[in-house]
Structure 1
Amino acid sequence: MRIAVLHGPNLNLLGERRPEKYGTATLAEISADVDQTAARFGASAVHFQSNHEGALVDWVHAHRNEIEAIVINPAGLTPVAFSLLDAIRDTGHPFAVVHISQWHALDGRERNDIFATSAAVYLTGAGWHGYALAIEALVFRARPQRELGRDVEVDVVRD
């Protein structure tokens, strides 16, 4: 299973930008953790970050036939990136949304996440570890539990 991991605006500055909210792990460190998690489940990850919605859309279009699932942190694009959301939905692949912080509680402003209702998996506030959790959840959704050597039932529930 090949999983795309997409990072939106300002995430290239993780580790430097507001470490009190987003932690001290860099994007490279997070990507390495995601790669290890994916490998543990017999999957692989391909990473892309851009500060521009159009570049993310172009990447999804160019790679849609090379991937089977998507993990995305749309960051500041979260309430407005309808073209990115459409591109992701148009792949037909399951996708997970990851927000490092509590997206709805940031800066005391009301926030709308247009990705939330379409996501197969939605993780917010788990810090950078949310990416690895999203990989695990997508693999669990895609593969029978016996194939993974597990005897557990996994059901992702959305409100």
Structure 2
Amino acid sequence: MSKIAVALAGLLTLAGCASVEVSDYAAEKPELDLSRYFNGTLDADGMFQDRSGKVVKRFHVVIEASWKGPVGTLDERFTYSDGSTQRRVWTVTKLDANHYSGRADDVVGEASGEARGNALRWKYVMALPVDGKVYNVDFDDWMFLMDDRVMLNRSVMSKFGFRLGEVSLSFRKRE
């Protein structure tokens, strides 16, 4: 193999290791303020895709959100394409201008989030029941505020560093 090919392979390997940081979006508008966006009633539609990209589950969520000072409650009610339902209640705390923590019954420990510009990165471990067993799965959520009403969310699910699939959501604030 030529020296150029080796150098190019090395550069491609390094580029694959680079990661996006929340601070990369600091100048993006509109600026995301969780307490302003997640306040009132929101609707979200989403889907789960397995690691091959196949859509495994679709769902609709109605979220009732409110804040008292730095603490917000997001009451999420899911209806899945197979007719099943689920409820998750998040308690989110604003720690400082850019950092948040969160808890929910099926979240292991505490979620951590950082917001800059129009973006929020939210990381947590969720206890997911699958075929009678419960697995702790890592979630890496990225949310992007598109305008005053719409936010897009992409979550990568992994276990032991292996990608299991993705969840995609579109949130809409009711007027």
Could you say which TM-score interval applies, normalised by the shorter chain? 0.3 to 0.5
- The structure showing larger relative contact order (alpha-carbon pairs under 8 Å, at least 6 residues apart) is 1
Higher strand share: 2
Structure showing greater radius of gyration is: 2
Higher helix share: 1
TM value normalised by structure 1: 0.33
